[in-house]
């Protein structure tokens, strides 16, 4: 049974990926210092999988602490590296924090990959690496424009660091997964997105407004050159994203890769506007949402969605959930949070 280290294991995508890995027979170790997540997530994982996951509460920007995990676990077959600060808007306000955290944690993990001979590495990248692309539908070969935010730039630099690293370490294999907009929650409603403080992403802002945690929500701009003036995104269910990580690790372990670094877009292939997403939420959950149109937000890309043919063809990946499923599961999760807080 292969052992996979998941950094950021208590995070939104990390926790769903741990569940998928366990469901497919992997042993999992986690590193998460809860700077942007909650310890209770591991209780949810245990209820779903009947397994307790070992988590190391350490800061990956500290190399000595990071090395201790590898000293304790001498046989790690692969790493899925999620741990990073991830809010586009916040990164514009706090660029140094983002560069310090996201770059140093990646560099330290790669130093350990090198020192402890870990063969397989999967990196949590993002569609923000494309910047404001000339075409809204992007393939893995779409030329990258300057990143629209420091967060996006940490992903561009991160990809480059990994490329340079595997170039001089031909026995190391890496996959870069560029995700679009992960939303929704596990069908059990036992784990989901848990933003700390004010939500920076659309769907938690929708569900928190609908349940009354927020008085109303803002749509950032309705004067973009799109169908209804709001930004276009490729929303994808978090369980579909999680599944792709397990498939990526299996792909590397089975030596199906054609080069020692490969890139895959993870999106549904459908562009949905912010207003269409709100409309889907209202319809599927039979609710009216209190929202208003505000000004544009710095760092936002106008329109982007994935061409996902490569992931389908090479990883054998299929998306299972549509926008209505995403909105339904997100609302179920919000309701579960409300019940568990009473």
d(CA 177, CA 161): 15
Measured between alpha carbons, how far is 203 from 209 in angstroms, rounded to an integer? 10
Number of Cβ atoms within 10 Å of the Cβ of 171: 8
How far apart, in whole angstroms, are the C-alpha atoms of residue 256 and residue 283?
43
Q: Of these residues, 98, 130, 151, 153, which one is catalytic?
A: 151
250 SS3 class: helix
CA 238/CA 266 separation, integer angstroms: 10
Q: For 59-94, give one letter per residue: b (16+ CB within 10 A) or e.
A: ebbeeebbbebbeeeeebbbbbbbbbbbbbbbbbeb
Structure tokens at 148: 């629209």
User: How far from each other are the two terminal CA atoms of the chain, in whole angstroms?
Assistant: 40
Please say if 151 is a catalytic residue.
yes
Alpha-carbon distance of 194 to 213, in angstroms, equals 13
Q: Under 8 Å CB-to-CB from 178, ≥6 apart: which residues?
A: 125, 126, 127, 129, 130, 140, 263, 264, 265, 266, 306
Query: Is the dihedral angle over the CA atoms 112, 25, 317, 226 positive or is it negative?
Result: negative
Runs of H (alpha helix) within 234-304: 238-253, 274-285
Q: Quick check: 126 and 179 in contact, CB under 8 A?
A: yes
What is the rounded distance in angstroms from the CA atom of residue 162 to the CA atom of residue 110? 8
Question: Catalytic site residues?
Answer: 151
């Amino acid at each position: 049974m292969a052992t996979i280290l998941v950094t950021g294991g208590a995070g939104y995508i990390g926790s769903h990926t741990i569940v998928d890995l366990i469901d497919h027979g992997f042993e999992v170790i986690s590193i998460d210092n809860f700077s942007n997540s909650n310890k209770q997530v591991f209780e949810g994982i245990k209820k779903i999988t009947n397994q307790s996951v070992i988590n190391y509460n350490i800061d990956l920007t500290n190399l000595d602490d990071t090395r201790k995990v590898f000293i304790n676990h001498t046989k790690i077959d692969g790493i899925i590296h999620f741990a990073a600060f991830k809010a586009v808007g916040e990164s514009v306000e706090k660029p140094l924090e983002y560069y310090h955290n996201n770059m140093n944690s990646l560099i330290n993990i790669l130093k350990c990959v090198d020192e402890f001979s870990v063969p397989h590495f999967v990196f949590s990248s993002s569609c923000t690496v494309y910047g404001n692309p000339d075409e809204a539908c992007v393939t893995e070969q779409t030329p990258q424009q300057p990143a629209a935010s420091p967060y996006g730039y940490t992903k561009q630099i991160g990809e480059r660091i990994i490329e340079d690293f595997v170039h001089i370490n031909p026995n190391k294999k890496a996959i870069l997964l560029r995700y679009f907009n992960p939303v929704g929650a596990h069908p059990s409603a036992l784990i989901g997105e848990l933003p700390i403080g004010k939500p920076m992403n659309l769907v938690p802002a929708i569900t928190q407004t609908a349940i009354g945690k927020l008085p109303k929500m803002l749509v950032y701009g309705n004067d973009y050159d799109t169908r209804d003036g709001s930004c276009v995104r490729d929303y994808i269910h978090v369980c579909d994203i999680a599944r792709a990580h397990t498939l990526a690790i299996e792909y590397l372990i089975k030596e199906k890769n054609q080069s020692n670094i490969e890139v895959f877009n993870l999106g549904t292939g459908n562009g949905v506007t912010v207003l269409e997403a709100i409309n889907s939420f209202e319809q599927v959950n039979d609710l009216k949402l209190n929202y208003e149109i505000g000004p544009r937000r710095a760092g936002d890309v106008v329109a982007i969605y994935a061409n996902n043919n490569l992931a389908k063809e090479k990883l054998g990946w299929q998306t299972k959930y549509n926008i209505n499923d995403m909105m339904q599961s997100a609302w179920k999760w919000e309701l579960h949070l409300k019940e568990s807080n009473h």
